[in-house]
Amino acid sequence: MPSILVADDNPVDRKLISRLLEREPSWSVHSVSDGSEALQYLEQQEVDLVVTDLQMPHVDGLELVKQIRKRFDSVPVVLVTAYGSEKISLQALSAGAANYSPKDQLQSDLVPTAKNVLELNEHIKRTANKELEGDTSRLAFVLDNEIGQIAQLVESFNSHLPSWATKDRLRISMALDEALTNAICHGNLELDSQLKDTDCESRFFDELQSRKDCEPFCGRRVRLQADFSDQEIRFCIRDDGPGFTPESIPDPTCAENLLKPSGRGLLLIRTFMDEVAHNESGNEITLVKRRQHTLNDESDYK
């Protein structure tokens, strides 16, 4: 049973977040009123996920993320973001938070976001002690337009990163998951990402199911190549869609775009990877992550 800790100094918001998460009967949800209490709780109890507000007294959300990454590195953090907190949200993502859920979209967004982070982190745990057979430095896959296959593929890639830090493996997994989802949904199936910015999110998924089985979409594929080394991982993801002009993409880090669901995937990709580049036609993206070494390298990368 996954254990989730909620940190929020506002009792109304804290109760709302907890009740939303408790809709999943298999989740055990606990709550505290600030980051200091959250750290005390983590010292005493095992937790699978922390969901935290950013604006809190004593230890705020940004500092909580930093402390968790330093002291409880295997515990992912999901931020609850609000208008006016865009700058600190970006800082918290850069500091190690795994994802975020806008406060005005919690009803529809929080549980799927938490579930995605929990599933990806579970993949990492399952592959942490796997021994690789041989020295595989390149893998290539061809995917159809079933987004359900992405999780298994991400787990497969994680087995090639056993010596990387947990925080880096989760970031790589999040970025790869988002990039493959974008290639299928927006590249091959040509779904309008702005549907996620309205009350028509259900229409987005209805369209997804409809298009993947009809022409010209059903014949399109996503091609993925991954190159591994001890110091760097590089993904090249190409779809068969018509592409787009990369310069036309709104900057997801701008305040007016940060909390839009349609820009979250690219924001996470750009934040979590060291290099992100599109080809001129917009149907291919390259992601690069370099291994970060520290003075305490041996313990950091177990």
Residues 171-192: pLDDT tens digits?
A: 999 999 999 999 999 999 998 8
Question: CA 48 → CA 31, 71, 74, 76, 258, distances in Å?
Answer: 13, 14, 8, 7, 26
Q: Give the helix/strand (H/E) hosting 90.
A: helix 86-95
pLDDT value of position 123? 85
Cis peptide before 216 (omega within 30 of 0): yes
pLDDT digits (tens, 9 = 90+) for 106-157: 998 999 999 999 999 998 887 766 555 555 688 899 999 999 899 889 888 8
CA atoms within 13 A on the CB side of 168: 20
Retrieve residue 131's tokens: 């021994």
Model confidence, pTM: 0.85
Retrieve residue 77's tokens: 């953090």
Lowest mean pLDDT, pick from 7-21, 26-40, 221-235: 221-235
pLDDT digits (tens, 9 = 90+) for 75-102: 999 999 987 788 889 999 999 999 999 9
Phi then psi for residue 209, to 5 deg, are -65, -35
Decide if pLDDT at 300 tops 60: no
Share of the chain above pLDDT 90, in %: 60
pLDDT value of position 295? 45
Phi then psi for residue 17, to 5 deg, are -60, -45
Stretch 220-235: mean pLDDT: 92
Residue 133 buriedness (CB in 10 A; 0-12 / 13-18 / 19+): exposed
Beta strand 28-32 with 222-228: parallel, antiparallel or unpaired? Answer: unpaired
pLDDT class of 212 with cuts at 50, 70, 90: confident
Decide if pLDDT at 273 tops 90: yes
Decide if pLDDT at 235 tops 90: yes
